[in-house]
Amino acid sequence: MLVLRCRGTQVKHVLGCHSTWASRWIGVNLRMLSSHPVAAVCQVTATPDKEANFTSCKQLVKRAKEGGASMVFLPEGFDYIGSSREETLGLSEDLTGYTISRYTRLAKKLGVWLSLGGFHERGHDWERDRRIYNSHVIINENGDIVTVYRKSHLFDVELPARGVSLKESAFTIPGPNLIPPVQTPIGKVGLGICYDLRFPELSLALVRQGAEILTYPSAFTVATGAAHWEVLLRARAIETQCYVLAAAQVGSHHEKRSSYGHALAVDPWGVVMGDCGGEYPSMSLVEVDMEKLRDTRRNMPVQQHRRDTSFYYSLGGRE
């Protein structure tokens, strides 16, 4: 399902893998109707097959460009999702390795910005400890790596009744710090990854640094996604008055793991602009209207009403 939003009207098209003519037609019409930049929020089903994953992502990026997108968002684990700790570590690479090099060339060839939402990056002490970072890589239209954010909050969760058992910290190093928002063709983008979504302190810190768009590329489990995914994304949009763009994994990656899907785009009022559904790889093309963001913040100046940070840690203090 490809979801477009053209001047307040949502238009839906079902596109197969070979519907290039359709995406070009849609892209031309979207560009003619829209004076705002367009973002593509993608949904994929990654497996341990890195070559197949790149082929699928490349198709989506090309379709997004044909549809008028100036920035394309891919989810956590876009490079692969391993079936074991050993496989996950064995398939990992450096930022200078083959996978990221292919994406820098793709970005330059198409003239499009890329948000690569969760790359398995070998740690700086890889030879000694064999651990990785979960890294969000931003590449500009010239094929340059603009910034890298390494996931701060690691998903160590046991939910026996819901069939969820994951311990990301067993092989992943938590990122040392947040990264300032990045100026892109669609606006100023603040970076998170998946489980970071559950920590509003992160989004509020990014807004204080000027973020206009928050992005949470993810691979939510089916159980947690059904319960919390849309609620959390809309909450982050409402409380920060930002656009929220969340690329997602969907479907079965291997016999041990599946993802919820429903890659979403949410506007600063909390309205869902695009939803990729819970079944297939797909994408949503959405306009990013900064006038809507400014109107939302002007009419309800939440950030101006916010007290000093120390105030929120003063419970139990004297009146």
Catalytic residues: 76, 151, 194
Quick count: other Cβ atoms within 10 Å of Cβ 148? 18
d(CA 212, CA 206): 9
Strand duo 282-287 + 213-215: pairing? unpaired
d(CA 43, CA 64): 12
d(CA 88, CA 166): 13
Q: Return the DSSP state at 14.
A: -
The token pair at 20 is 């290039």
Residue 248, H or E segment: strand 248-254
d(CA 50, CA 81): 9
User: CA gyration radius for the chain?
Assistant: 19
Q: CA dist 79 to 115, 274, 302, Å?
A: 12, 24, 38
The token pair at 179 is 């990264």
d(CA 34, CA 40): 14
Residue 202, H or E segment: helix 200-208
Q: Report how far Cα 57 is from the mean position of its chain's Cα atoms.
A: 14
Q: What is the 3-state secondary structure (H, E, C) of 110-158?
A: HCCEEEEEEEEEECCCHHHHCCEEEEEEEECCCCCEEEEEECCCCCEEE
| Residue 177 identity (one-letter amino acid) | N
d(CA 136, CA 95): 11
Give residue for tokens 């330059």. Answer: 108
